[in-house]
Amino acid sequence: MNRHFVSALVCFALAAPLGAAAQSKTAPKPAGATEASSTDQFVMRDGEVVMRQGSTIKPLNKNVVLSDGTKINYKSGIVELPGGKKTTLKEGDYVTIKGEIVFATPGSAAAARGDNSVPAGAQYTTYVDRNMAPASAADMDARLSSLNSRLTLMARKIQLLNDKISLLSSATQRPADTSQLDQQIKALDEQLQQVK
């Protein structure tokens, strides 16, 4: 065999495992990347960005660089996304550990996209935070109790409505008197309004 061919073959055999090892490594984190759990958030609070870990708030003393490259200036609330786009957090806005921005109000969301048509004080009617800790057992018990009360009242209302339908469909000569059923249905509607 040709001596050059054998030398090349040996070099290739020795280099292959090194190349495979280099390919199997994960991409390095940017310098200064912050280590945190998957539910941690960087929240604009009282004019500065703080770290929220569950119900604990920790002040920051340096800017944050997330593992995806998102940069957060803890003093000004300016967030620079990996693509170079910048936005400024408003009170209550936060950035997840994955670099997702969650806006606290419609006004801050509109301001981030350069839309001045939404009043700064506008509020969401319903705001659900997917990253919040689950409700306590007492809260869950109260919700279940309320739900059970609603279901009981609604089942009773359905029964009264069925009774009314039966009464009205069986009347032959003159219309049936449904005033008592109507009063009971009205009372159930009022109770349903009170149960949250």
Please give the span between the terminal C-alpha atoms of the chain, in angstroms, as a whole number: 87
Query: Domain of 71?
Result: 26-131
Kindly give, in sequence order, each residue whose CB lies less than 8 Å from that of residue 4, ignoring residues fewer than 6 positions away: none
**Whether residue 116 sits in one domain with residue 60:** yes
End position of a domain, from candidates 114, 131, 148: 131
**Domain annotation covers residue 7:** no
**Whether residue 79 sits in one domain with residue 162:** no
pLDDT at 34 over 60: no
CB 83 within 8 A of CB 101: no
How many distinct structural domains can be found in the chain? 2
pLDDT recorded at residue 5: 45
Q: Given pLDDT bands bounded at 50, 70 and 90, which one contains residue 89? A: very high
pLDDT recorded at residue 72: 94
The rounded distance, in Å, linking the Cα atoms of 71 and 35 is 14
**Whether residue 122 sits in one domain with residue 68:** yes
**Whether residue 150 sits in one domain with residue 177:** yes
**Domain annotation covers residue 15:** no
- Percent of the chain exceeding pLDDT 90 equals 20
**Whether residue 169 sits in one domain with residue 121:** no
End position of a domain, from candidates 131, 155, 183: 131
DSSP annotation of 57 reads: E
The rounded distance, in Å, linking the Cα atoms of 133 and 57 is 14
**Whether residue 116 sits in one domain with residue 39:** yes
**Whether residue 141 sits in one domain with residue 103:** no
C-beta pairs of 186-189 under 8 Å, 24+ apart in sequence: 188/153, 188/156, 188/157, 188/160, 189/157
**Domain annotation covers residue 126:** yes
Please write the tens of the pLDDT for every residue from 6-17.
444 444 444 444
CB 106 within 8 A of CB 123: yes
**Whether residue 32 sits in one domain with residue 113:** yes
Please write the tens of the pLDDT for every residue from 170-186.
767 777 788 898 899 88
Q: Given pLDDT bands bounded at 50, 70 and 90, which one contains residue 112? A: confident
pLDDT at 28 over 60: no
**Whether residue 171 sits in one domain with residue 101:** no
